[in-house]
Amino acid sequence: MSGPVQFKNGVKVSERHGAGEWTLEKILLGLMMPLGVWLLSTSFTLTGAGYDVVLQWFANRLNAGLLIVTALVFFGFASLAWKVIVEDYIHKPGSKALALGLLNLIFLALAAASVFFIVRLALGSAPLPAGFGI
C-alpha cells in the first residue's frame, strides 16, 4: 500500500502513472505528422493515376516501407487515444477491461491486415477485388 496522498499547490501529486503512455503518444504524434504530410502529397500525386502506376508506386521499397510505418504509427496512436477515452468514460472494471481488450484486438488486427495488404501490393501479387475497375 502506498503512503499518504501528497499535494503540491493544492493539486494531488501524480505517481507517474501514465507518463510512459503520454510520452509514447507524443512520440507517435511527432512521427505521424511528417508521415501524414508525405501520405497527403502522395495521394495528390497518385490521384487519377492508372492501376499500373499505383502498382509501380507500391513496388518501390521506400514507398511500401514508409506506408507500413505510417499504418503502424497510426494504429498505435489510435489505440492509445481510444484507451484514454475508455478509461475516462467507462467506470466498471469488468466493462473497462473488456473494452480495452477488444479495442487492442481490433487495432492489432487492422495493423496486421494493413501490413499484409501493403506487402502483397508491394510484391505485385494483389489483383483488383471483384467489382472494382473497368
105 vs 84: which has the higher pLDDT = 105
Burial class (CB in 10 A: 0-12, 13-18, 19+), 29: middle
**The predicted structure's pLDDT at residue 41:** 95
Strand duo 7-8 + 11-12: pairing: antiparallel
Condensed to tens digits (0 to 9), the pLDDT of residues 85-103 reads: 998 899 898 999 999 999 9
Condensed to tens digits (0 to 9), the pLDDT of residues 107-132 reads: 999 999 999 999 988 988 766 566 65
**The predicted structure's pLDDT at residue 1:** 44
Instruction: Return the H-helix or E-strand segment holding 7.
Output: strand 7-8
Tell me the backbone φ, ψ of residue 12, rounded to 5 degrees: -65, 130
Q: Which CATH number fits domain 24-123: 3.40.50, 1.10.10, 2.60.40, 1.20.1300?
A: 1.20.1300
Distances (CA, A) of 61 to 38, 40, 106, 114, 123: 15, 18, 27, 16, 10
- Residue among 75, 69, 54, 58 nearest 120 (CA): 58
Place of cell 503502424: 72
